[in-house]
Amino acid sequence: MTILQRYFSKLNNLILLIVVLAFLFRIWGIWNVDTTDEYNEVLEALRVCSGHLNYERWIKRFYCYILAFEYGIFYLVGWLAGTFSSPLEFATKIVRDMQPLFLLGRLTSVLAGTLSIVTLFRIGEKFFDRTTALTASILLTFTVFHIDLSQQAKVDALLGLLVTISLFFIIKLSAAEAIHSRDLAYCAFFTALAIQTKPNSIALVAPLCLLFVTKFQILRKNLASYTLIFTLFFVAGLIIGNPPILFAPHKFASALFNLSSVYTTAVNLKHCAKSSRLPTKPQWVSFWRRARV
């Protein structure tokens, strides 16, 4: 083994160690997270599981459908194991102890947060150098705020991963001498998923516009084809991130336009204080009954 091979072998072992540490830092303590924001995502996922698609909420949906899919797998495994004999028994048991649902959501965030570090390392390694890649990965691994968000059943860790993947393809397209349709498709698809995860990722429009300006001379040679590819995969990402778009596209478009509206309704602080309290078990039962109607 040459000195160069040993050097790269050590680097591979180092990034593996970083990823393992990142995963351990994020998974440790997920059973003891205390935040009320998680209830919004878990309840919305349960609503989807009950067969009701919410046509009034069009933002932060992709994570919700991931949770709904995981809860479906959880029910299926429980049904095969004899833990749940029917959806009604599942509902009855789960409203008494929702810890498995929260843990599934938190584990999803743990994986997303860890994969963000892998993606960041890939960006640094491919477009800069190994030292930059390792430095960026180490900094994100030990970032307390990122660890905290990666332990919660919320959209933020998944959002970070999707934005990082989108930036990977944006940088790749910018650095390439020619525009490859596959990279453009991936870029559009993951950008759409990021926007469906949380609308503030619309900030990705800025680097996309910069990409268009810097690569316009290349794009103009086959502009119609590139535009069609980007549009098709962007729409596909929007639909996969939130399938009800197919059934109510006008409501989705209206919700997007309303995101620019400024909320002017007065806030009742006393009411907000009451509503921030955790629901009691009868309320969970009431929610499930309403969702099944």
Please enumerate, as own/partner, the contacts of 164-168 that have beta carbons within 8 Å and a separation of 24 or more.
164/116, 164/119, 164/120, 164/123, 165/119, 165/190, 166/190, 166/191, 166/194, 166/201, 166/204, 167/123, 167/204, 167/207, 168/119, 168/122, 168/123
**Domain contains 205:** yes
Predicted pLDDT at 286: 46
Cα–Cα distance, 293 to 290 (Å, whole number): 5
Predicted pLDDT at 272: 41
**Domain contains 211:** yes
**Domain contains 125:** no
Structure tokens at 208: 């996309």
Cα–Cα distance, 27 to 110 (Å, whole number): 6
Measured between alpha carbons, how far is residue 111 from residues 27, 59, 79, 158, 210 in Å?
Answer: 9, 22, 26, 9, 31
**Domain contains 285:** no
**Domain contains 192:** yes
Predicted pLDDT at 4: 47
**Domain contains 283:** no
Residue 232 lies in domain: 177-261
Q: Which amino acid is at 82?
A: G
* Phi–psi pair at 125, nearest 5 degrees: -70, -40
Predicted pLDDT at 5: 52
Q: 3-state SS string over the chain?
A: CCHHHHHHHHHHHHHHHHHHHHHHHHHCCHHHCCCCCHHHHHHHHHHHHCCCCCCCCCCCCHHHHHHHHHHHHHHHHHHHHCCCCCHHHHHHHHCCCCHHHHHHHHHHHHHHHHHHHHHHHHHHHHHCCHHHHHHHHHHHHCCHHHHHHCCCCCCHHHHHHHHHHHHHHHHHHHHCCCCCHHHHHHHHHHHHHHHHHCHHHHHHHHHHHHHHHHCHHHHHHHHHHHHHHHHHHHHHHHHHHCHHHHCCHHHHHHHHHHCCCCCCCCCCHHHHHHHCCCCCHHHHHHHHHHHHC
Domains identified in the chain, total number: 1
pTM beyond 0.85: the answer is no
Q: Write out the chain's pLDDT in tens, 293 residues.
A: 555 455 445 557 788 899 999 999 999 988 888 777 888 888 888 888 888 777 667 778 899 999 999 999 999 999 998 888 888 888 888 888 888 999 999 999 999 999 999 999 999 999 998 889 999 999 999 999 999 999 999 999 999 999 999 999 999 999 988 889 999 999 999 999 999 999 889 999 999 999 999 988 888 888 899 999 999 999 999 999 888 888 777 777 777 677 666 545 444 444 444 433 444 444 444 444 444 44
CA 216 vs. chain centroid, Å, equals 31
**Domain contains 208:** yes
CA 127-229-247 angle, to 5 degrees, is: 120
**Domain contains 195:** yes
Predicted pLDDT at 91: 85
